[in-house]
Amino acid sequence: MSPVRRCSRTACTRAAVMTLTYVYADQTAVVGPLATHAEPHAYDLCDVHSERLSAPRGWEVLRLAPDPAAAGPSPDDLVALADAVREAGRPAPQPEAQPEPASVREGARRGHLRALSSD
């Protein structure tokens, strides 16, 4: 499991729950659900700092609400996990032994190696 990401604000030790990104071309600050991994040009914020955020004068703040369904595993995820566990618990099928052709006969054996000769 990956470590908990902390709020990007100085001296804040709370866990990050939202990610802030700036869209400079549109003069917009976007606060949305926590990104799946840390980005160099994004800021992870705790719940307190994400609520208090203000943007520069003339900029718009766009707040994207987190999707509650994405917070935990879905029923499909649980079924897929159960299927994977069930499949991993099954014994692997043993390959059927292939008969050697009549034209090949076993020669001398040395350790785990064997020499085959065809006549």
The predicted-structure confidence for 33-92, as pLDDT tens digits, reads as follows 999 888 889 999 999 999 999 998 999 999 998 666 556 666 676 777 777 777 777 777
Q: Are 15 and 44 in contact (CB under 8 A)?
A: no
Task: Note the pTM of the prediction, 2 decimals.
Answer: 0.55
Shortest CA distance to 33 belongs to which of 49, 44, 23, 22? Answer: 44
Q: What is the pLDDT of residue 39?
A: 87
| Rg of the Cα atoms in the chain | 30
CA–CA distance, 51 with 64 (Å, rounded to integer): 12
Q: Are 18 and 34 in contact (CB under 8 A)?
A: yes
In the predicted structure, residue 16 carries a pLDDT above the cut 60: yes
Q: What is the pLDDT of residue 106?
A: 53
